[in-house]
C-alpha cells in the first residue's frame, strides 16, 4: 500500500496584496505580492504599514473561509476603520 503525501493545509484565512515599491522598468518579475495571515487583525496591521508605500492595496479572505470578503483598494481605508472582530468567535453558536 502506498501512502499519498498531501500538502500541509494553510491556517491562513486572510491575504493582503500590494504593489511592489521596488519595481524597475524592463525587469520581468511580478508587479504585485501577497502576504497571508491567520486573522483579520494581523492583515489589517500589515495593510496599515503597506499604506505608507502604496495606495494600491487589496485584501480579503482565502477560500474556503466564509464569509467571503474582498476589499478593493478603494475600500481599504474604510475596512481599516471597521471595529475589530474576533476571528475565533466567527461562526460559533453561543446558544448551546
What is the extent of the structural domain holding 49? 14-20+31-81
Residue 44 lies in a domain: yes
Q: pLDDT value at position 94?
A: 38
Which tens digits make up the pLDDT trace of 49-77? 999 888 899 999 998 878 899 999 999 99
- Nine cell digits for residue 9: 493545509
Residue 35 lies in a domain: yes
Residue 9 lies in a domain: no
DSSP secondary structure, 11-60, as one string:
---EEEEEE-TT--TT--S-SEEEEEESSHHHHHHHHHHHTTT-S-EEEE
The answer to whether 59 and 47 are in contact (CB under 8 A) is yes
| Structural domain count of the chain | 1
Residue 70 lies in a domain: yes
Residue 41 lies in a domain: yes
Residue 46 lies in a domain: yes
Residue 93 lies in a domain: no
Residue 95 lies in a domain: no
Amino acid at each position: 500500500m502506498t501512502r499519498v503525501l498531501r500538502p500541509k493545509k494553510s491556517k491562513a484565512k486572510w491575504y493582503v496584496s500590494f504593489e511592489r515599491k521596488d519595481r524597475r522598468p524592463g525587469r520581468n518579475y511580478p508587479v504585485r505580492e501577497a502576504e497571508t495571515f491567520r486573522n483579520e487583525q494581523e492583515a489589517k496591521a500589515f495593510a496599515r504599514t503597506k499604506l505608507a508605500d502604496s495606495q494600491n492595496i487589496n485584501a480579503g479572505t482565502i477560500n474556503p473561509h466564509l464569509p467571503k470578503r474582498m476589499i478593493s483598494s478603494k475600500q481599504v481605508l474604510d475596512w481599516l476603520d471597521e471595529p475589530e472582530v474576533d476571528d475565533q468567535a466567527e461562526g460559533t453558536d453561543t446558544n448551546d
